[in-house]
Structures are given as structure tokens and as C-alpha cells.
Amino acid sequence: MAGESKPTTKVPEIRSGDIVVILHGKDAGKRGKVDRVIHGTGVAKTAGRWRGESGRALSVVIAGVNIAKRHTKPRQTMSQNSQTQIQQGGIVDKPMPIDASNVMVVCPRCDRVTRVKHERLGSGQSVRVCSHCREQLEAGA
């Protein structure tokens, strides 16, 4: 392959709605649908690792994966009008963000883990395609 090779980003391009497979961690091998993509700045502190403002941190929240069981205690909170409210305790399942470099996109068509490629349409629009079957990965396309 000749020609200029554009430097590709190390982090796969993931969008909400994509099906991904988890590569590392306790949920390795699991699949899930991306619920939310969190970009570097503004990452919730709960994301754990904080790469700083210069990093291209990208995390994804995947439904049903990397669940943190949050034990919440019943507690009283004071609302604005000085009424006490009881918050029920219990266990809350909360999907935690996963570093995007730990997941790979699964092609919904050929069902294989794929590298996301970009292809330019005649209109000049760039779309994400599966590197295996070349099917567009755009959700709802």
C-alpha cells in the first residue's frame, strides 16, 4: 500500500450505540452497547484514572458492563423547605466508564471484532466502516 498513511488515533472511534467487546479486566469478553462516550475533559472523577488535560482520554459507559455495586445507606437529607427526606438504602448497580482503549468495536453485520475504518462517500462525507465487510457502522444508517 503506497501513499500517505494518515496517523490513526490509537483510541478507537466509538460512538454511543456501538456494540463493543471488552478486552481487559474482569468483564473481558463481554459485549455490550455503548451507552455513553466520555471525552477527556469533563470526565467524571469516578472514572478512576485521570489523564490530565493534555491526554486524549476517552471512556465509554457500556450498559450492563463494569458494574459497580454501590451500597448506599439510608440517610436523611434536608430539602430546601427544611423537610427531612429519607433516602432508601440498598444496592445500586452503576455501570462505570471503561477506558476506550480496553474495548473494540464489534461489527453488527459480520459480528466480528473490527477495526473502524473511514471511507469517504461520493458526497465527501466520511463514514465509519467495518474493516472486514466494509459495512457502515453508523447507527441507524
Binding interface with Zn ion (CB under 5 A): 107, 109-110, 130, 132-133, 135
CB of residue 33 to Zn ion, shortest distance in Å: 17
At its nearest, how many Å lie between Zn ion and the CB of residue 49?
A: 31
Nearer to Zn ion, 51 or 115 (CB): 115
What is the smallest separation between the CB atom of 34 and Zn ion, expressed in angstroms? 17
Which lies closer to Zn ion via its Cβ, residue 104 or residue 107? 107
Question: Which of 126, 129, 137, 132 has the alpha carbon at shortest distance from 113?
Answer: 132
Q: How many CB atoms lie within 10 A of CB 25?
A: 14
Find all residues with CB under 8 Å of 19, minimum gap 6, and list them.
31, 32, 33, 34, 105, 106, 108
Which lies closer to Zn ion via its Cβ, residue 61 or residue 103? Answer: 103
